[in-house]
Structure 1
Amino acid sequence: MGIDIPWARAELANFLQLTDLYRRPDPPGVSIISSQLSNRGSLADIVASAHVVEQILERVLPDWRTTVPNARNRTTNRWCQHREAAQRADAALQRDAEVREKLGDNAPQLSAGTFHPWAWEGAHSLWASGHFREAVTAAARKVNAEAQNKLGRRDVSETNLFKQAFSTDAPKPGQPRLRLQADDGGDTFRSRQRGAMALAEACFAGIRNPNSHEDALPELPEHEALEQLATISVLARWVAVATVESA
């Protein structure tokens, strides 16, 4: 399900109002010379609002913590980075479709939040901090662990696990299979099993293993990492919907 834009914009607007700076009026009959500014909202209200706003920002601007400047002097307003990120996110929510249309790039876009939970939940925290290669690796590990749980196996993992799981051979003791459809002996059954096996090998041999050597490789561009994460999400969804066939 896509983001509720009116709700998200209202939450951002509320946060911006709470963190707005103003100079408190002097008490009656007293004149105070001070440059100190205060937020309009109470700290408790701002913190509560920030909890929601940060989750909106991670959906709309996943790399906001690293791309939005964070003022070194936070004594004036500790929420300065949040405020600028909220303003950018509001503009994106309001005008993203218009901008893409006017710039001639109105193609469909992927949202990691719609990926299978095994893929996105495994990658989410690392993705938010800009560790894209490590996030993809974490997603692959999560899918491997969930497949092991579903099959009740700890003796094999990753490529070997999925080769055995999606094999068209009959299950053996200790070697259950994952079936995307009932084994009717037809070409479609064999094709789906073979495709799932090939996709799993691509995810682990072609994506997860190289990404594990991140110290020797440059950081992945975000769009490439998103493509890899989408591939892992497809495998996760197939594993989740498959039935287990045991001997």
Structure 2
Amino acid sequence: MSALSKRERARVSPWGGHFDRRGTNVGGVRQHQGMTRMNREWAIGKLRSFLVTASISYVPDPPGAFGFSHYQLDKPKADVQAAAQIAEQILDRVIPGWRIAEWEAPRQQPLWRHREAATRAIAHLEAEEELAENLGSGAPQLDAAALHPWVWGSVAGLWSSGHFRESVGAAARAINAQAQAKLGRRDSSEAKLLSDAFSTNAPVTGHPRLRLSPDDGGDTFKNRHDGAGNFARGVYSAIRNPIAHEEGDELEENEALEQLAAFSILARWVDAATVETAP
């Protein structure tokens, strides 16, 4: 996922996505926090009112004259300015890039950019639910490259070639190898190894423990380590083992990504934990 430039970040839409230099929304669409349906109706009404107030008329050249034709506002300038002040606040939220968008400028038309943006914003607001349904919710997207390096670093090549099922298996094997190296054990692996490592029992010879926090005798210590051990058993038993021992169809990309995320959580715990050995 490419990073946005400073100028592009300034055009990020509160409805999701961002606007390009032509003022086009090129991302997902989501409802802005606090923007209820009634507020959308209010915004549409204000923009429509602005378009009426900021209407213009063409003034042709007088008979026998040339070069005097122009467009002029139909309403008093003060009324237009007041309506434009409200419209600008709405446009800044709906189409953040409207002030610099590279739209074609009509010749000699006052406030042409305001009217262009208002027309676009009305269309966007009226179709917002339809856009969200068809373009996506605009919810946060999981960037696979942001997963723990043990996970993504071991599967990037497989993933790019569409081997999603094998990618999940590779991530599981990578975490197991890292855990074995950290604990100095080769006699056990995967669920059995990590369940033993996260045990709340004191370490004994040949059975070092992984500690996410010091043992203070409290419930938090017990809950964290019991949970980590159970989580390790769950991902290896329910995800890794079927991949390794059963023939199956290729995973859907989103399902495989969810499974990689589960292993990424486990990887972070193993990586962050300290090793406690027997005296």
Residue in 2 that maps onto 1:245: 276
For residue 206 of structure 1, report the CA deviation from its aligned partner.
Answer: 0.7
Distance 1:128 1:242 in 2: 31
Residue in 2 that maps onto 1:227: 258
For residue 229 of structure 1, report the CA deviation from its aligned partner.
Answer: 0.3
Residue in 2 that maps onto 1:35: none
Residues 1:96 and 2:125 aligned together: no
Residue in 1 that maps onto 2:48: none
Distance 1:220 1:212 in 2: 13
The code of the aligned residue for 1:3 comes to S
For residue 96 of structure 1, report the CA deviation from its aligned partner.
Answer: 2.6
Residue in 2 that maps onto 1:63: none
SS at match of 1:103: helix
User: In structure 2, do the counterparts of structure 1 residues 217 and 210 end up closer, same or farther at CA, with 3 Å as the change threshold?
Assistant: same
Residue in 2 that maps onto 1:160: 192
Residue in 2 that maps onto 1:122: 154
8 Å CA contact 2:158–2:164 kept in 1: the answer is: yes
Pick one of 173, 181, 189 that aligns with 2:221.
189
SS at match of 2:28: helix
Structure 2 gaps, min length 5 = 9-24, 32-127
Residues 1:180 and 2:212 aligned together: yes
> Could you give the per-residue CA deviations for residues 210-235 of structure 1, whole angstroms, max 9, x where no partner exists?
11246x21110000000000000000
8 Å CA contact 2:30–2:139 kept in 1: the answer is: no
- Aligned CA RMSD, in angstroms, stands at 2.1
> Could you give the per-residue CA deviations for residues 182-203 of structure 1, whole angstroms, max 9, x where no partner exists?
0111100000001100110111
Residue in 1 that maps onto 2:74: none
SS at match of 1:178: strand
The code of the aligned residue for 1:208 comes to R
The code of the aligned residue for 2:215 comes to D
Residues 1:145 and 2:177 aligned together: yes
For residue 5 of structure 1, report the CA deviation from its aligned partner.
Answer: 3.3
Structure 1 gaps, min length 5 = 10-93
The code of the aligned residue for 1:241 comes to A
Residue in 1 that maps onto 2:90: none
Distance 2:218 2:254 in 1: 38
SS at match of 1:181: coil
Residues 1:211 and 2:210 aligned together: no
Q: What TM-score, normalized to structure 2?
A: 0.54
For residue 99 of structure 1, report the CA deviation from its aligned partner.
Answer: 8.9
Residue in 1 that maps onto 2:34: none
Range with greater deviation from structure 2 (100-109 or 171-180): 100-109
8 Å CA contact 2:164–2:250 kept in 1: the answer is: yes
Q: Once superposed, which parts of structure 1, at least 4 consecutive aligned residues long, lie more than 4 Å away?
A: 98-101
Q: What TM-score, normalized to structure 1?
A: 0.61
For residue 118 of structure 1, report the CA deviation from its aligned partner.
Answer: 0.5
SS at match of 1:209: helix
Structure showing greater radius of gyration is 2
For residue 171 of structure 1, report the CA deviation from its aligned partner.
Answer: 0.3
User: In structure 2, do the counterparts of structure 1 residues 212 and 151 end up closer, same or farther at CA, with 3 Å as the change threshold?
Assistant: same
Distance 2:151 2:241 in 1: 16
Residue in 2 that maps onto 1:107: 139
Percent same amino acid among aligned pairs? Answer: 54
Count of residue pairs brought into register by the alignment:
160
Residue in 2 that maps onto 1:71: none
Residues 1:136 and 2:168 aligned together: yes
Distance 2:213 2:4 in 1: 38
Whose helix proportion is higher, 1 or 2? 1
For residue 103 of structure 1, report the CA deviation from its aligned partner.
Answer: 2.2
